[in-house]
Amino acid sequence: MLTAAMSRHTTFRYCLDPTVEQLNSLARHAGAARFAFNRCLQLHLLARRAHKRQTAVPVPWTGFDLINAFNGWKKTAHAGRIITVDSSGSADVTATGLAWRNSVCQQVFEESAVDCGRALKAWTDSRRGKRTGPRIGHPRFKRKGRGLPSFRVRNKSPRKPTIRVGDGQRPRSVTVPGLGVIAVRDDTRRLRRLLGSGRANVLFATISQRAGRWWISINVEAADMHPAMQHAPRPQGDSGGWVGVDRGLSAFAVSAAGDGTACERFTDHPKPLTSGQRRQRYLARAVTRKEKGSHNRRKAAARLGKHHYHIANIRRHFLHKVSNQLVKTHDRLVIEDLNVQGMLCNRSLARAISDAGWAEFARQLAYKQQWRGGALVRAHRWYPSTKTCSTCGCARADLRLHERVFTCYTCGAALDRDLNAAINLATWAEQHSAQVRDPQAGGPVINAHRQSRSGRHLRVGETGLNDVGTDVRPASAI
């Protein structure tokens, strides 16, 4: 019985330690998920072709329609049949349907159909302009060995959960429908305490294979964090207390208050992609030297994949460490809305920017600050925080990237480049804090600059009515 109101979603990830039989069962379920997705996509394409010839033929688009279409197909002779011939030569056809459908959990088929429906919806919304971001292509068939082997099962009933943790006096174990009890390598105490106290409810579990190991990600709906771990609410009308966080490459992040007080400076960025570049080249050359389609090439590709996965884990661990320290210390944070995708066009800085993980860092700050009851704002990307003097407010248009010390030509102030940007962000947030709340960002949001909206865009060097004395040129033109 749940004793607390569920208001946030989080995920617990563990490394599985399956037996030999369970390894085969995990691979069978992953193959069944891939097969169901491909079959649902094929049923959809066949229905679209028939709809062109005859408009009365329905086309399954949603996950619910695809589930019904797949369930109807798997019991027909098209999914499986047995042909028997007697002594007289007459043949008898018996429809068996999908013969192996009972050897895997049926939820795997349903979740794959739902994934296919989501992919089709993303494609149609992208074509109609209802989806922001890059253009989404049409869903493609999955191929064994190309994609990530994974499948998903859901917890149908909260009162009688089918996905259990630490069942049968085995604390380090997970019970999954269709697979039974699987041992895990990690400690599950935190999740077991949440589930035992009624402060969490398991929604679904995703099992995937990465770097030669099987992992399980348990998505739970949990209650709010303890009040002692949340920030104290600020009184009405209090516009202070903002801390600007400037992301960079020389120093990963620098935080400062609006009065010029320096808070944190994170310079111990591991830069895993740069440090592991030598081994990555060695492993990549080993892959290209193997014959295509051979077992040795697959082994070499697996070693390269493990190296990339190791790099991603190092980066993710560092980002969690920095974001946790910031959200635990400050209840009001402000960062820049950087165009990371556009910055990657710079061939000189693309690798360093990708290695920094700026977008993932901003995402972690957003949801962690929301969990703790804090606020996070994003300054619009055209705000010249780096080129503006934090003392007098004058902007410099000739500041170059190699200049690590900002020197103001008007007042003569000289201070660190990243510290100056962090102070400007904090000051900017104090002036724009009275805005509408954004439930996804967990804090106030600021309307974008005119160049990010529709209408006439300003040219390079041109200023608008409200931009007098401010350099609003894009980063690529400065």
In angstroms, rounded to a whole number, what is the distance separating the alpha carbons of residues 141 and 31?
A: 13
- For residue 474, is pLDDT > 70? no
Percent of the chain topping pLDDT 70: 89
Quick: pLDDT tens for 141-169: 999 888 899 999 999 877 788 999 998 88
Question: Is a pLDDT exceeding 80 seen at residue 466?
Answer: no
Average pLDDT for 189-205? 92
Instruction: With a cut of 70, say whether residue 248 has pLDDT above it.
Output: yes
pLDDT surpassing 50 at residue 257: yes
- Residue 179 is predicted with a pLDDT of 93
In our burial notation (b when 16+ CB lie closer than 10 A, e otherwise), range 364-393 reads bbbbbbbbebbbbbbbbbbbbbbbbbbbee
CB neighbour list of residue 444: distance below 8 Å, 6 or more residues apart: 375, 377, 432, 433, 434, 435, 436, 437, 438
Report whether 353 contacts 344 (CB < 8 A). yes
- pLDDT tops 60 at residue 435: no
pLDDT at 2 (0 to 100): 46
Question: What residues have CB less than 8 Å from 464, skipping those under 6 apart?
Answer: 450, 458, 472
Strand ranges inside 127-199, DSSP E: 150-154, 164-165, 173-176, 180-183
pLDDT the model gives residue 434: 57
Letter for the amino acid at 357?
G
Is it the case that residue 462 has pLDDT exceeding 70? no
The answer, yes or no, to whether residue 27 has pLDDT greater than 80, is yes
Report field, pTM of the whole predicted structure over 0.85: no
pLDDT at 191: 94
Tens digits of residue pLDDT in 10-25: 999 999 999 999 999 9
Burial classification of residue 129, based on how many CB atoms lie within 10 Å of its CB (0-12 exposed, 13-18 middle, 19 or more buried): exposed
- pLDDT, tens only, 300-359: 999 999 999 999 999 999 999 999 999 999 999 999 988 888 888 988 889 999 999 999
Instruction: Answer with the residue of higher pLDDT: 423 or 471.
Output: 423
Long-range contacts of 361-366 (CB under 8 A, 24+ apart): 361/247, 361/253, 361/319, 361/322, 361/323, 362/335, 362/338, 364/319, 364/320, 364/323, 365/245, 365/323, 365/326, 365/327, 365/333, 365/335, 366/440, 366/441, 366/442
Residues β-bridged to residue 84: 92
Q: Across all residues in the chain, what is the average pLDDT?
A: 85
Closest residue by Cα to residue 101 from 59, 135, 71? 71
Burial class (CB in 10 A: 0-12, 13-18, 19+), 443: buried
Closest C-alpha among 16, 11, 18, 120 to residue 64 = 120
For the ranges 156-165, 178-187, 234-243, 434-443, the lowest mean pLDDT is seen at 434-443
Whether the predicted pLDDT of 211 surpasses 50: yes
In this predicted model, what pLDDT tens digit does every residue of 365-422 receive, in sequence order?
999 999 999 999 999 888 888 888 888 888 888 888 888 888 888 888 888 888 999 9
β-strand pairing of 6-15 with 405-407? unpaired
pLDDT number for residue 4: 59
What residues form DSSP beta bridges with 377? 334
Judge whether 442 and 327 are in contact, CB under 8 Å: no
Which of 48-52, 199-203, 217-221, 230-234 is predicted with the least confidence, judged by mean pLDDT?
230-234
Q: Which of 79, 156, 149, 78 is nearest to 112 (CA)?
A: 149
pLDDT at position 139 is 95
Q: Tell me, what DSSP letter sits at residue 363?
A: H
Phi-psi region of 446 (alpha: psi -120 to 50; beta: other; left: phi over 0): beta
Each residue's pLDDT tens digit, 121-140: 999 999 999 988 889 999 99
- Measuring CA to CA, which residue among 189, 192, 193, 194 is closest to residue 224? 194
